[in-house]
Amino acid sequence: MLDFLRRAAVLGIALLATGAAARAQTRPPIGGVNSAPGAMIFYVAHGAPDSCGPGCSNWIAAEGAVQWDTYKRLLAILDRQTGHKLPIVINIKGESNLNVATSLGRILRDHGVDAVVGATEVDACNGKSEADCFALKRPGGPLDAREKLSGVACDLACVLMLAGGVHRGLGAGNRVVLSGMALHNRFAPNISAEQRESLTTIYIDQFRKYLGQMGVDQELIDFAIKNSGNGRYVEVPASEWTRLHLVTSRQP
């Protein structure tokens, strides 16, 4: 099974989250060859005292779609925080690579990082275009900002990344919206039906195992599977977040 997954990675085959989460805004690619516009960026944000929790005024903002090379940028910004374990604020936008989302979650857990879902509003971006704001964020901060822990949709990629947080938070005004999954090869458009079915089954099994290792109920994958490929989505109500162990704390 692991050999099959390695071959799939080399071939650029991934299972993607599709549908309900907000699309990434258009901005330049930030990765290497084949990196799509809207790929996730990471930067350090600085707020008022206790703005991200007791004794916390700095956090890492994660914004955009999870692409094949996103893990490299997460490792890079974590490595720059010598002696500090800043929490991460996750705001995934657009079609995202679920395989890599689990890698991001494992990186967060390995580094002992807490995670919440929310938006980061950078003060210097007020009145600026998306392109100008992106230019401010791309160097990695720190930038004066505020957390907005409501009004953000958390899709399956978001769930997989959030699961890696040592402590996990979801503001009451956020939504967990799970849509379908689709197999995609970034190097070639066609995947045989047999290969599609086999790989999808393998990936889903891996996601189940991953969630179990992170302490999250595997029922979340069942929610997504019910909607795979049918164009619908299902919302996981806030009343279920604690039962499913998706959150370990609730943000105001």
Give the tens place of pLDDT for each residue, 90-102.
999 888 888 899 9
CA-based max dimension of the chain: 55
Measured distance CA(173)–CA(188) in Å, rounded: 40
Question: What is the share, in percent, of the chain residues with pLDDT greater than 70?
Answer: 76
Measured distance CA(34)–CA(36) in Å, rounded: 6
106-143 residue pLDDT tens: 999 999 999 999 999 999 999 898 888 988 998 998 99
Mean pLDDT, the chain, integer: 81
Tokens, residue 80:
């720059």
Q: What's residue 115's pLDDT?
A: 96
**pLDDT over 90 at 233, yes or no:** no
Which among 82, 87, 76 is positioned nearest to 140, based on CA atoms?
A: 76
Q: What is the pTM of this model?
A: 0.85
Report whether 217 contacts 242 (CB < 8 A): no
Q: What's residue 227's pLDDT?
A: 57
Q: What's residue 120's pLDDT?
A: 94
Q: What's residue 30's pLDDT?
A: 67
Cis omega before residue 142 (within 30°)?
A: yes
**pLDDT over 90 at 225, yes or no:** no
Tokens, residue 149:
């822990």
Q: What's residue 161's pLDDT?
A: 96
Ranges 50-64, 203-217, 221-235: which has the least confidence:
221-235
Place 82 in a pLDDT band, splitting at 50, 70 and 90: confident
Q: What's residue 241's pLDDT?
A: 93
User: What separation, in Å, do the N-terminal and C-terminal C-alpha atoms of the chain show?
Assistant: 42
Which among 8, 12, 161, 172 is positioned nearest to 91, based on CA atoms?
A: 161
Ranges 108-112, 171-175, 231-235: which has the least confidence:
231-235
Q: Which residue has the higher pLDDT, 181 or 221?
A: 221
Is the C-alpha dihedral spanning 103, 101, 245, 53 positive or negative? Answer: positive
Q: What's residue 3's pLDDT?
A: 45
